[in-house]
Amino acid sequence: MPSVARVAAVIACCAAALQVHAQPRANDPADPAAASPPLAYVSAFDDYRPLGEPGPGPWRAANDRVREAAEAAAMAFGASAPAPATTPPPRGHEHHGAKP
């Protein structure tokens, strides 16, 4: 059987908990007339600085870089320059069976 002191302590704790929940909040969100702090808008782009467009570079150096990259890729995959054609390409539609 619980002692009187324990029962009194439990009742005091429950009463304190009920008082905390019974007190109205300073700014009740359900109250349309409740005061609220002003909203402060801060844009994510406030400190944005555009990068700017790059200027045109030297076209010969760009062409050389592309040529070197193509040559390196060809060497990596074992490709070589295409062999020159020994027969001239067909004229007209002869190459797919059409009659002149």
- What size, in residues, is the chain? 100
Per the structure block, which two tokens stand in for 87? 């027969």
Confidence of residue 21 (pLDDT cuts 50, 70, 90): low
Judged against a pLDDT cut of 80, whether residue 96 lies above it is answered with no
d(CA 62, CA 68): 10
Residues 7-35 have a mean pLDDT of: 70
Average pLDDT, the chain: 77
Decide: 27 and 34 in contact? Cβ < 8 Å: yes
The encoded tokens of residue 77 equal 């995959």
Report the pLDDT value the prediction gives residue 76, as an integer from 0 to 100.
Answer: 87
d(CA 78, CA 72) in angstroms, rounded, equals 10
Q: What's the pLDDT tens digit per position in 36-83?
A: 788 999 999 999 988 888 788 899 999 999 999 999 998 888 766 556
| CA dihedral over 24, 27, 28, 31, signed as positive or negative | positive
